[in-house]
Chain A
Amino acid sequence: MSLFKDASLPAITAGFVAVLVSYSGPLAIFFQAAQSAEISNVMMTSWVWAISLGAAVSGIGLSLWLRVPVVTAWSAPGTALLVTLFPGLSLNEAIGAYLTAAVILFLIGVTGTFDRIVRAIPPGIASAMMAGILFQFGVGVFAALETVPALAIGMLVAYLTFKRLTPRYSLVLLLVVGVVLAVVLEGASLDGVSVQLAAPQFIRPEWSWHATLSLAIPLVLVSLTGQFLPGMAILRTSGYDTPARPIITAASLTSLATACFGGITTVVAAITAALCTGREAHEDPDRRYVAGVANGLFYLVGACFAGTIVALFTSLPGEFVAVLAGLALIGAITGNLSAATDHKEHLEASVITFIATASGINLLGLGSAFWGVVVGALAYQLLHRPFALPGRREASSANARS
């Protein structure tokens, strides 16, 4: 089997680092979602088991099949959505929405309409909504400054230092330093952390309009624009001319399978993908797929010991998780805000999308991500569509020049 012939230490390390980064940063958001849903550790273990297994199966399968380093993970902006929706949304409704989202993504995948749909969404609006969803996590870092100043400042300084010195490992090192700081400064105890095998819990799905509009639709949108789009772009800029169809189809089928155990949509990784597709993974692009396989295998290990991971996070203070999640997302927030404000031709619509999403408004039982898209699309149609007559603006800019 050629996999063993192609395997190399750098590729396996790349896969390992990608998994470690995922568990260090994005998992903290999922954990905050679990806290807002007020679920038990057993249930949380099942969630982590499901998302890890989904990432493992789809990642290994796609990497081997396509011979391309396809790194899959769970939808990080999707988990961010959850934080605001729980506990108003029931667990069963959330699972129903996961299934709805998976079906929609499957249809988009098999029909091959991904590129067309992505092109139809104004880029500034998509980025603005992403930024709005993630924004509260960034602000949370500074809210923690008032409650646990020493821990927050320590982690902030550590983050900035590691970002300067070793950007690649900064999140992993931040997790280590953060755990030490939490134990020393806040008196957190790690006694409850032990090696234990995970047992999945079945959750009966329930379909509702409320969950479909508040969760499933925004979940599809952020998964397409926030994960599949940048993920595919990373693959293509690394020189892999892979079609989107098999990847989205396989990922959505995995999502369907894991949903009932609490696994949110499986997608192409955006934050960690670059670790496995670049030169650090291997000099020879044709042997980098091993990094994708290794990434999947390490996720499999993570899935087995999901209980241990959950125990580690629950024994640390909530502020620690908040600061970790916020710092892990700073890069993504900055990237999305600069993309949102880059498109000057529809800046107003992007800004109002961002404001409405970030406001956390809850209207008619629907979350702010949904309203952000509604308000943004409306503003875009009214203010910026080509057939709108821009006479007023032209007149005022002519005056400015005179």
Chain B
Amino acid sequence: MKHLEKGVGLASAPRDFLRDLNADNLSAGLVAGIFGLSAGIIHIGAGTAAGLPQEFTLLWVISYLLINGLFGLFLPAYYRLPLPMANSIPGALLFAAIIPIVGLNEALGATLIAGAIALVVGLAGWMSLVMRLMPMPIVMGMVAGVLLKFGTNMVMPLQNALLPAAVMILSFFFAARYLRRVPPLVVTLLVGVGYMAISGADFSSVAFSFRLPEFIMPSFTLEAFLAYGLPLALILVGMETPAGVGLVKGMGYQEAPANAITALGGIGTMLSAFFNLHSTCIAAPMTGICSGPEAGSHDKRWVAAVIVGIIFVVAAPFYGFVFSLIEAMPSYFIAIIAGLALLRVIGSAMHITFSGKHEVGAMFSFLIAVSGVEIFGIGASFWALVLGVAISMLVEFKDFEFSVASPGRRKADVTAR
């Protein structure tokens, strides 16, 4: 356990939560929470595409909200850092696709092993080592590449929903300039809801429902492990955690507990396996929203992540209801809110990417992550890191500093914003 980083503790967390709560981190937490809730649509879509019964996909999302939410309450509160927890989207797509082939219990058995692998990596302290040796511009190139899609998704609605999209985006800019006491995201949220109210969105399909996660016993086969467990472990350790940790570090939290995030994600994933869920890990887009400048003053952004956890846990049993609500809203609504919330995060990430050192490796990392290319069934963000470092070693070896000592250099200018 010696590699697990120490945090502030939980004893005074509820009191500090109320003390540090402000309009900025509340609105960022709210936006990240709504974004996380809407991600459930991807799970349901993937499940439907794989021919899984709707009964199961709903249960799946309810488990993800409750389990990810509980871990997402604990981790940021203990470390006082903006570390919201969710699950891996690439992992979810893999999970949905593999169930018809190997069976649900077998897939969950492979999930359990993948969680155990992540736990071992975290406990052994390998994650913080990797994060220290990995040059920051290359990590941030990958992060910027992953997040860029959310930026372009924000402007794309201008094409087919010009008026509401333009009004929402403009309201953000105007609020940022003229309404200095209200977070611009809140203004945009209200403007969007107001527009829907006036234009008369169809809420007739909204229906109330209540369900709790159900226990299930995993079983183990080699086939399920090779086809899904091993890739999932790679996704958790090689993609999700480096992206989340890199992002938090880039936002000025150098002390981000890389080992604890990996280990806790491992435990969460092992627990998930008993409740129809494929993983628990740190989530890059939500981390971006909670740890970025929109979440207000630097040492209080952890509150935003806790709020995400609260939203998840509270919304979990009612997800059938939430789902019908999200379905009734136009799709551009969440795309624009999330894009605006991430705008400055993307900017900061790109600023670090192109800060000078490892320029070629960072550029390639960025391009690969944007391209979304898949090699051997493993996603682009993993290859962005691997190829980015390899190319950087080939072309600009002089930029590497092989010191295991912690780089104490803080990105002061990022934190100030």
Contacts and interface: CB of A to CB of B under 8 A. Distances in A.
Given A146-B373, A351-B347, A397 B367 contact: no
B interface, size bucket: 35 or more
A83 B270 CA distance: 49
Given A141-B367, A142-B367, A163 B395 contact: yes
Given A139-B370, A139-B371, A141-B367, A344 B177 contact: no
A146 B354 CA distance: 27
Nearest to A392: B180
A354 B354 CA distance: 14
Contacts of B156: 359, 361
Interface string B146-173: 0010011011101100100000001001
B263 to A, nearest CB: 29
Contacts of B371: 139, 141-143, 145
Given A341-B354, A397-B416, A400-B298, A139 B347 contact: no
Interface stretch (A15-23, A304-312, A382-390): A382-390
A55 interface: no
Nearest to B396: A164
B360 interface: yes
A400 B416 contact: yes
Contact of B155 (A142, A356, A391, A400): A356
A352 B155 CA distance: 9
A259 B366 CA distance: 37
B98 interface: no
B401 interface: no
B417 A383 contact: no
Q: Give the one of A341, A383, A395 with max B CB within 10 A.
A: A341
Interface string B283-309: 000000000010011111000000000
Interface stretch (A69-77, A218-226, A332-340): A332-340
Given A355-B154, A400-B416, A341 B351 contact: yes
A382 B176 contact: yes
A388 B175 CA distance: 12
Given A164-B395, A351-B350, A363 B158 contact: yes
A92 B162 CA distance: 30
Main secondary structure of the interface of A (DSSP, over half): helix
Given A138-B367, A139-B370, A375-B155, A348 B347 contact: yes
Contact of A391 (B24, B148, B159, B180): B180
B155 A351 contact: no
B343 A348 contact: yes
A341 B180 contact: no
B359 interface: yes
A350 B347 contact: yes
Interface of B: 24, 148, 151-152, 154-156, 158-159, 162, 170, 173-174, 176-177, 180-181, 293, 296-300, 343-344, 346-348, 350-351, 353-356, 359-360, 363-364, 366-368, 370-371, 373-375, 380, 391, 394-395, 413, 415-417
Interface of A: 135, 138-139, 141-143, 145-146, 160-161, 163-164, 330, 333-334, 337-338, 340-342, 344, 347-348, 350-352, 354-356, 358-359, 361-363, 371, 375, 378-379, 382-383, 388-389, 391-393, 395-397, 399-402
9 contacts: A135-B370, A143-B371, A347-B347, A348-B347, A355-B148, A356-B155, A378-B170, A396-B296, A399-B297
